[in-house]
A and B are shown apart, each in its own frame.
Chain A
């Protein structure tokens, strides 16, 4: 059984069609790149899988069940925007995650914070933008989830922070879990991807195993992307 199954998913805002008949299966134990230019529908699809948006038609199943409390228990989601209460300290946020998610591992979170020399008593509103993003990533990756969905985790950060983020993702995701990384900065994440999903103007344009695509096209994923989405 696929971890996530999208069947005929459509989403529009008024006359503006954002997702058009998306049929998709996310397998277990893979790192998947959800790739597409800005405005292609990546974030909309992610928000639907997380229950933040309602579809106009079609169904989304997670572990065979509709989106709901059970799917939220197994999905660990990092949105593209800051989403925690900045008036809370890191320690309070760890307690918050620990209270609500049975699969949250506080020890992992504290260990990751220690590596950053970060004081858990510091409030987020006293931190830099980059540091806030790192804290949010630590919270998301400290869950033993079945699926991690990371929306633009490396967008707008310096190369050193990108390396830190990718390393944190790779060394902390649960064994047997899948990771969906949405980005348009493909060259930075290409090396860690098992599979890719290209999304263009709200439709699945290309999908497949990353290595097989490289071999068949004789190009890197980044080059395929540049070729396919040439303006």
Chain B
């Protein structure tokens, strides 16, 4: 059943996100065409600049919109009137929840890829790839790891962080819906509370790290810490994210298991 739930989650979110992807690509192509004209007609420079700013806003806003669509899908499908259908389907709670997590991951990856392609269209392949390559090679030298390993770790860490934020809001919505009134207000309050608890745990973790190894504090100030400390810091960050991920997932699962859809 997970496959079927996933199919409809992807379809539903796609309806909101594919127009954005199409818009991004079209705008990138228009910008590219204008950039050719700008070379010969300087009056187009102003139009290009305005459109370029709009393009950047669309790229950044698009990523935030992807996050928002994931949240809306969770709320509408599980806790609004649509939940009456979702929760009377012969589908297990884990399938419902896991599908939401996977679909939000799929679309953030897709949004990043589309954004990347549109940036390449506007700025040119060589420019974008060389900047990216330089960055990865720099980190590769600093931490004595291959470029591929650095890239994989970066992708893993970013996706893990993203899904933690998504689950944090899911958990906030799940807890907010325990109340019979002002559910959205309570959902926001719970999300903020979970966020601050996480921040406090982060500070606590840094404190523990300092107690274990006092030298680590000096490393935190550096743009590029030593490899040994970098692994320590990243490891702790990932550990905290994993704890947050499983805690929020459990909160969501528990609330769906003890459903009170009013």
Quick one: which of A50, A54, A81, A96 contacts B81, CB cutoff 8 A? A81
Quick one: which of A69, A82, A85, A99 contacts B12, CB cutoff 8 A? A85
Instruction: Say whether A75 faces chain B, with CB atoms less than 8 Å apart.
Output: yes
Report A80-107 CB contacts with B as 1/0, cut-off 8 Å: 0111110100000000100111000000
Quick one: which of B4, B88, B262 contacts A99, CB cutoff 8 A? B4
Alpha-carbon distance A96/B1, docked complex (angstroms) = 12
State whether B88 touches A72 (Cβ < 8 A). yes
State whether B90 touches A52 (Cβ < 8 A). no
**Inter-chain contacts of B15 with A (CB < 8 A):** 87
Instruction: Say whether B126 faces chain A, with CB atoms less than 8 Å apart.
Output: no
**Inter-chain contacts of A52 with B (CB < 8 A):** 83-84, 87-88, 259, 261
State whether B260 touches A54 (Cβ < 8 A). yes
Report A151-195 CB contacts with B as 1/0, cut-off 8 Å: 000000000000000000000000000000000000000000000
Most buried by A among B1, B4, B85, B89: B85
Instruction: Say whether A66 faces chain B, with CB atoms less than 8 Å apart.
Output: no
State whether B81 touches A51 (Cβ < 8 A). no
Report B79-104 CB contacts with A as 1/0, cut-off 8 Å: 00111110111111000000000000
State whether B85 touches A72 (Cβ < 8 A). no
CB interface residues, B 1-21, toward A, < 8 Å: 1, 4, 7-8, 12, 15
**Inter-chain contacts of A82 with B (CB < 8 A):** 81
The minimal Cβ–Cβ distance linking B4 to chain A, given in whole angstroms, is: 5
Alpha-carbon distance A27/B132, docked complex (angstroms) = 69
* Contacts A47-B261, A52-B87, A72-B90; A85 near B4 (Cβ below 8 A): no
State whether B88 touches A13 (Cβ < 8 A). no
Report A21-64 CB contacts with B as 1/0, cut-off 8 Å: 00000000000000000000000000100111110000000000
State whether A50 touches B90 (Cβ < 8 A). no
The total number of A-B Cβ pairs within 8 Å is 57
Quick one: which of B1, B85, B261 contacts A53, CB cutoff 8 A? B261
**Inter-chain contacts of B260 with A (CB < 8 A):** 53-54
State whether A96 touches B8 (Cβ < 8 A). yes
Instruction: Say whether A77 faces chain B, with CB atoms less than 8 Å apart.
Output: yes
The minimal Cβ–Cβ distance linking A18 to chain B, given in whole angstroms, is: 11
Alpha-carbon distance A82/B84, docked complex (angstroms) = 9
Alpha-carbon distance A52/B81, docked complex (angstroms) = 11
State whether B8 touches A77 (Cβ < 8 A). no
* Contacts A47-B261, A54-B259; A72 near B82 (Cβ below 8 A): no
Alpha-carbon distance A50/B82, docked complex (angstroms) = 14
**Inter-chain contacts of B92 with A (CB < 8 A):** 69
**Inter-chain contacts of A50 with B (CB < 8 A):** 87-88
* Contacts A53-B261, A54-B259, A72-B89; A79 near B180 (Cβ below 8 A): no
State whether A13 touches B85 (Cβ < 8 A). no
**Inter-chain contacts of A73 with B (CB < 8 A):** 90
Alpha-carbon distance A75/B260, docked complex (angstroms) = 19
The minimal Cβ–Cβ distance linking B245 to chain A, given in whole angstroms, is: 26
Alpha-carbon distance A99/B261, docked complex (angstroms) = 24
Alpha-carbon distance A13/B179, docked complex (angstroms) = 10
A/B interface sample: 9 pairs, CB < 8 A: A51-B88, A51-B259, A52-B83, A75-B88, A81-B84, A83-B81, A83-B84, A84-B82, A100-B1
Residues of B at the A interface (CB closer than 8 Å) are: 1, 4, 7-8, 12, 15, 81-85, 87-92, 180, 258-262
Given A77-B88, A96-B8, A100-B89: 18 more A-B contacts, CB < 8 Å: A50-B87, A51-B259, A52-B83, A52-B261, A53-B260, A54-B258, A69-B91, A70-B90, A72-B88, A72-B89, A72-B90, A73-B90, A79-B81, A79-B84, A81-B81, A99-B4, A100-B90, A101-B89
| A-B CB proximity, top 8 nearest | A83-B84, A72-B90, A52-B261, A73-B90, A79-B84, A69-B90, A100-B89, A83-B85
